[in-house]
Amino acid sequence: MFSWHETALLELAKQRARIAHALLVHGREGAGQIEFALALSRQLLCESPTEQGLACSRCAACNWFALGNHPDFRLIQPESLEPDAENEAQSARKEKKSTQIRIEQVRALQDFLAVGTHRAGYRVIVLHPAEAMNAPTQNALLKSLEEPPPATVFLLATSRPHRLLATVRSRCQRIAVPFPDRSQALRWLEGQGVPEADALLALSGGAPLVAARLAEADPLRRRLIAQLRDPRFDVVAATEHCLRVEPAEAVAWLQRWVYDLLSSRLCGKIRYHLEDSATIPRLAAALEPAAVAGVLRALAGARALSQHPLNARLFFEDLLFKYRALWGSP
């Protein structure tokens, strides 16, 4: 359980006996919606909860939940998020896996809902991320939300509740997942053994889970930024770096770097790259703000390329040439 979830989970524990049958568990990206939904599932399923209503971690239900095989629990998520045993060589195949929750997955719930619960308590279904359901899939779910079987709780976890149908949203009680403050986030990151937690947290807009994810790809990001610090860098080599991660991730790295250059040039402020607070003003001094803003705009227009590797290569090369040209390098 994340420390910043604690108060909200305790509050829900008080409502254990009269919990709504559908909850929209929403919050800012990186607040940990799925972790919150799972912690709530666990405390609802626990068969000997603490006085406060939290999961005991010792009963049969808690053990099954920890092992991922509680008979009254289902986690519905896209195939691409399912853990699997495939090795590195096969992981290229991953791109082919669906990033959507398929309608069949929701229809298959009918069998699970048709029978009574295995234990005497609740039955819990987590859908994550809920916005990964298209409209027909949401409509298939809607039937169960409208006429829920007894003792059944649906948890729809999402950071984009506006992408859900109004009819689905209106069936759910909204639960806001709290976002950690800076000290909570830092303490958690340090507990995870993330080095330079401070700098990564700034890079992630304060979201510790995003920072932790970033930490894994961080050596790559650092090598790219190291190249960008020298206006005569090798564009082809830098493009190779960009192509080794999801295009959206590389675009985000570049956006934050160029943002800091522009922000430093315009108002002397650096938001993301605190460790470069000496280098950035020096680099930015020679820049024409309008031209930097143009590169930022080009980055923002990058969404369409995400699924096309060839486009991605051309895109990054073109963009890095533009970036280099900011200093007049050919």
Binding region for Zn ion (CB under 5 A): 46, 55-56, 59, 62
What minimum distance in Å lies between the beta carbon of 58 and Zn ion?
6
Q: How many CA atoms lie within 13 A of 150 on its CB side?
A: 5
Q: Is the CB of 55 or the CB of 302 nearer to Zn ion?
A: 55
d(CA 140, CA 126) in angstroms, rounded, equals 15
Task: Return the amino acid letter for 118.
Answer: H
How many alpha carbons lie under 13 Å from residue 306 in its C-beta half-sphere? 10
CA of 75: how far to CAs of 43, 185, 243, 294, in Å?
A: 15, 27, 32, 44
Q: At closest approach, how far in Å is the CB of 44 from Zn ion?
A: 10
Q: Smallest distance from the beta carbon of 49 to Zn ion, in angstroms?
A: 6
How many other CB atoms are found less than 10 A from the CB of residue 265?
18
Amino acid at residue number 207: A
CA 263 – CA 257 distance, rounded (Å): 10
For Zn ion, the closer of residues 61 and 164 by Cβ is 61
Query: Considering beta carbons, is residue 47 or 198 the nearer one to Zn ion?
Result: 47
CB of 113 to Zn ion, least distance (A): 23
- Structural contact between residues 36 and 27, judged by C-beta atoms closer than 8 angstroms: yes
Residue closer to Zn ion (CB basis): 57 or 329: 57
Q: Is 264 helix (H, G, I), strand (E, B) or coil?
A: helix
Is 10 or 236 the residue whose CB approaches Zn ion more closely? Answer: 10
Shortest distance in whole angstroms from residue 207 CB to Zn ion:
30
